[in-house]
Structure 1
Amino acid sequence: MKLALAQLNPTIGDLAGNAQKILAQAQRAHQAGADLLLTPELALCGYPPRDLLLDPAFIQALEQQLQDLAQACPAGLGLIVGTVTANPEAQTQGGKGLWNSAVLLGEGQVQHRFHKRLLPTYDVFDEDRYFAPGGTQGYFLWAGLKIGVTICEDLWNDEAFWGQRRYAHNPLADLAQAGVDLVLNLSASPYSLAKQRLREALVQHSAQRFQLPIVYANQVGGNDDLIFDGASFAVNRQGHLLCRAKAFAEELIYLDFETTQGDFLAGPCQSLPESEPAELFAALVLGVKDYLHKCGFSRAVLGLSGGIDSALVAAIAVAALGAENVLGILMPSPYSSDHSLSDALALAQNLGITTHTVPIEPAMATYDQMLAPLFQGTPFGLAEENIQARIRGNVLMAIANKFGHLLLTTGNKSEMAVGYCTLYGDMNGGLAVIADLPKTQVFKLCHWLNREDEVIPAHILSKPPSAELKPGQVDQDSLPPYEILDRILERFIHHHQSRQEIIQAGFEPETVHRVAHLIRRAEFKRRQAAPGLKVTDRAFGSGWRMPIAMKPSWEA
């Protein structure tokens, strides 16, 4: 049997467009002599569809598109499509009205429907909100083989790998007991740094444990804050990696199953990105490109401060959209250093992007005049500093509105964590590109960009970070050194350590208490921030569900 695997980048809700993309790959696979084509989880509607699933018209249109796809599918080819199907048992059994399904199409009609059994509700996942769990594990006969079907999370409950069970059932164990010859998995597994290595280790362990070849088809592309890295793969019954599709790109790959050996033969194996920075950069480029294009934008604008954050965002935007589609705006104030302007211009020259300079001093003077009667007798402080950021934010939004660009915000995760950012100022925009990158990671990524030629001007990498909202200001006036801050944030945000645990690890108590207080206090800002691209296992996005109005008395 010849199996084709289509690693697809669907657009959520574009049922006709997604179906056409699937059909095009089906035609290619058929011409190549494939017997069966596998697509990712919910490939027909895109993942995650979220509350679109509450619209009955959406579900009806999805089913009609599935039927149309079945009719158009080449004769002789089996097509496994990820989609949503209605649960007719919901009203009588008190369950959810939908299933997350894998549907086998062939000879012009629906042959089988299989339903996801394990529904994740952690991090960014909320599948129990919409779906009923499948009752029994399914398989079908094709080309003389007994083929098991699983959907994403169904593979993630191997107690021998994790040391514990997340769910009551292990679908893979059930399929092994049913005597299937191989297992196909439709996935839409969101990207986070180094997650592919975990996926492969899990699947290799399970294949070896149950002596089953496993094929893993993963979605690729950006959908809102989530990035899907693809890198679909297959392992044999000994757990050896046989093939891997490209990371961060669509691809159609083929696998031959040798019936006499009862296993897949080795196929093409694409390499993963060569380093952590290379992987992060590829993910962020894909996230920016898809967010803009799927939202109907072709060009981006951002403020260039001469600092490292805006420099990195500009470099990512150029890689995603092309230099001709990125506009940089310089907005100097009386507190801006000469090198801020020269560094920003040098960056723009290195990247080949157009810039415009809009000084904000006239607007600052007007605000001073307008607010003088109310502010009279008070010292210069945070309000006056933030007015500068808000002037810049208004300038950028005006340009974005006038020319139909998407405004990219440039704040990093360290700043978002402790609130070192201004609402309706530097937080303005449609996409927060590096909101999940700590400041120390920003520096690492910029040094990586400069590994061959200078992309980020050297002075941007060497000067102390500063918002330049008052004379001589640097970030460390208000924050601990980023090397210390980021280590505390990692423990607090990613590992859920208490203040005392962090202090016992050797951090200065006053600093720990202050950072924890800043994180809690900044929640109202994060709730109003632009969507941020998720690249770690704990991002300030759809998987972060902290209350705003709260009092952490247990931390006192």
Structure 2
Amino acid sequence: MKIGLAQINPKVGDIQGNTTKILGCIEKLSTADIVVFPELCVTGYPPEDLLFNKDFIAESQVAVAKIAKAVNSHQAVIIGCPEHTNGELYNAAFVINNGHIIGTHRKVFLPNYDVFDEMRYFSSGQTGTIIRFVNHTVGIIVCEDLWRPDGPAQWEASQGAQTIISINASPFEHGKMESRLNLIRHMAKTSKVSIVYLNMVGGQDELLFDGASVVVSDDGDIQAVMPSFEESLSLVNVPASSGNDILHNDSSFLANESNSIVHCFDVPMETSDEKPISDLVEAPIDSIANIYKGLVMGIKDYVTKQGFKGVIVPVSGGIDSALVATMSVDALGADRVKLIYLPTRFNSPDSLEDAKKLSDNLDSPLMVLSIDSIFETFDNTLRNELHKESFDIADENLQARIRANIVFYISNATGYLVLSCSNKSEAAVGYGTIYGDMAGGFAPIKDVLKTQVYQLARYRNDLNPVIPERILSRAPSAELNVDQKDQDVLPPYDILDAFINDYMVSNIPIENLTQRYGNEVVSKILRMIKGSEFKRKQAPVGPKISPRSFGKGWRMPIVNGFMPKENTLGD
């Protein structure tokens, strides 16, 4: 069976543009028996509260009908789109052949955790779905249906499906690729089916979709892998599983052993019997390169889909802004990236030298505007008014806020988007100035720990050394005061980052955290995390790369009287 995989990058809400893209892919994959598209590809994913808009739903249904008219009798097409019927809305996979919608699979398991809240919008399907071709039987599922034991994939396999096609909008997170692939291979072997896993690609607000679609045979061997973070079309000859018999039954419903129901549709076409290519296909690998590629795509998609001319990166001579500037040039080209350096008396000559070298290496001009006189005017006025003599955090933050005013002025004047260079480690403990360095329209490294910032920078330099070595080697500093270093205030970043993962992602109890890090470190970091919630709620959106980011999946109250204590735990 020859399957055309359309790993595409739709835009949420652009139903007309997505439809045009889908029709173009069908034309290019005209020799395929079945052409497969991602989950909710007609509307883009996640459409969120657009799904409450009746005009939006109506237009999506018109789009499916338009796509159906373009499909001939020798080909079947599977596309993801909301299905509105009998007052209910479903996350559905539409099966199209010969100008008609033959049937749909309604997503059974609706994710309602982390960034997902599909139960807010959709009703749950109740059946598995099998498409019976003349010589091949195919099961259809949508994303989360694949991840549940004893779910639609198993129902369909038990009722004779030889191949399972799963359409997905599965967000990227570092480490997920291996677990995803292991699940697919295990399910293929245990259910004796080939599995076609087709994933969306692209950036949408805080989500990255990595693609990395795969085809696995019933013995768990990988038949094909599509690239990560790239739109791609591919033709794959999928082997028919010999473990399950093709069913021919007069009833359109079949009950499996667990009394779940499988709904069957017949498609009166014969699929090809070409043998799959036996060349060894390497499994996709989670790596720092994947994170870098995903973040670059995230910048490109956010800027391009929003229609900005380019981006402004306030560079400081430090590692965070150097990485953001480099990724921005890789994403958009040097001509669409404006680098701005805004020093005061506290910025060292080395910082300016490194910023200029970075600018030269990236071939992106650097604008240098000293803000010392502006800072002095502000500072003197406020000191006189408040009868203030000391130089403290208010004076430090004032510098960051002056910089924010200037870069946003330039943004308004040019139509370029301001990027924030704050990272996850700083955001966790509030080591950043609200309305200052935290300000921006998009934060590319919002979910990137400081230790990962260095890993990403070194990875990029291995490809082509553009980030000056001194930026990588010197101690990080905000340079808002004399001889200031991050570690004057924060624990070492390797300790802080390990704690953030243990606390945020692994949800380790305070008793175990205290045993691992000591009471002083735990108490300090927890106070900083809790006290910084109001800042994070006002920070710009940024791409999620970890299992839990400071975004939709982190829903902490700002006003919060709870502080965990080791002695409150029971046995």
Q: Return the TM-score normalized by structure 1.
A: 0.93
Counterpart among 222, 245, 248 of residue 229 in structure 2: 248
1:312-340 Cα deviation digits (max 9, x unpaired): 00110011001111110000001111111
Moved more, 411-420 or 453-462: 453-462
CA distance in structure 1 between the partners assigned to 2:289 and 2:169 by the alignment: 22
**1:10-25 correspondence runs (5 A):** 10-25=10-25
Report what 1:231 is aligned to: 212
Shift of the 340–268 alpha-carbon distance from structure 1 to 2, 3 Å rule, reads farther
Counterpart among 366, 376, 381 of residue 377 in structure 2: 366
Moved more, 68-77 or 129-138: 68-77
2:29 counterpart SS class: helix
Give the AA of the match of 1:215: V
Matching of residue 36 in structure 1 with residue 46 in structure 2: no
Q: Return the TM-score normalized by structure 2.
A: 0.91
Report what 1:53 is aligned to: 51
Residue 276 of structure 1: CA displacement?
A: 2.0
CA distance in structure 2 between the partners assigned to 1:190 and 1:170 by the alignment: 21
CA distance in structure 2 between the partners assigned to 1:268 and 1:336 by the alignment: 57
Report what 2:561 is aligned to: 551
CA distance in structure 2 between the partners assigned to 1:454 and 1:554 by the alignment: 45
RMSD of Structure 2 on Structure 1 (CA) = 1.7
Report what 2:355 is aligned to: 344
Give the AA of the match of 1:177: S
Moved more, 176-185 or 409-418: 176-185
Give the AA of the match of 1:150: I
Q: Which blocks of at least 5 consecutive residues in structure 2 are unaligned?
A: 244-272, 567-571
Residue 275 of structure 1: CA displacement?
A: 6.6
Report what 1:172 is aligned to: 153
1:147 counterpart SS class: strand
Give the AA of the match of 2:540: A
CA distance in structure 1 between the partners assigned to 2:115 and 2:348 by the alignment: 41
Counterpart among 431, 455, 471 of residue 482 in structure 2: 471
CA contact (8 A) 1:498 1:555 kept: no
Residue 142 of structure 1: CA displacement?
A: 2.1
Counterpart among 85, 110, 113 of residue 83 in structure 2: 85
Residue 144 of structure 1: CA displacement?
A: 2.3
Report what 1:455 is aligned to: 466
Alignment identity in percent? 39
Residue 198 of structure 1: CA displacement?
A: 1.2
Report what 2:411 is aligned to: 400
The number of residues matched between the two structures is: 536
Q: Which blocks of at least 5 consecutive residues in structure 1 are unaligned?
A: 91-96, 159-168
CA contact (8 A) 2:215 2:238 kept: no
Matching of residue 152 in structure 1 with residue 128 in structure 2: no
CA contact (8 A) 2:3 2:238 kept: yes
CA contact (8 A) 1:140 1:148 kept: yes
Report what 2:186 is aligned to: 205
Shift of the 195–414 alpha-carbon distance from structure 1 to 2, 3 Å rule, reads same
Residue 377 of structure 1: CA displacement?
A: 3.5
CA distance in structure 2 between the partners assigned to 1:452 and 1:200 by the alignment: 28
2:412 counterpart SS class: helix
1:436-475 Cα deviation digits (max 9, x unpaired): 1111111111122222542110110111100011111111
1:372-399 Cα deviation digits (max 9, x unpaired): 3332144211111111000001111111
Shift of the 66–22 alpha-carbon distance from structure 1 to 2, 3 Å rule, reads same
CA distance in structure 1 between the partners assigned to 2:239 and 2:428 by the alignment: 53
Shift of the 390–542 alpha-carbon distance from structure 1 to 2, 3 Å rule, reads same
CA contact (8 A) 1:243 1:268 kept: no
Report what 1:8 is aligned to: 8
CA contact (8 A) 1:148 1:183 kept: yes
Residue 268 of structure 1: CA displacement?
A: 7.5
Report what 2:104 is aligned to: 113
Shift of the 350–525 alpha-carbon distance from structure 1 to 2, 3 Å rule, reads same
Residue 257 of structure 1: CA displacement?
A: 3.8
Give the AA of the match of 2:18: N
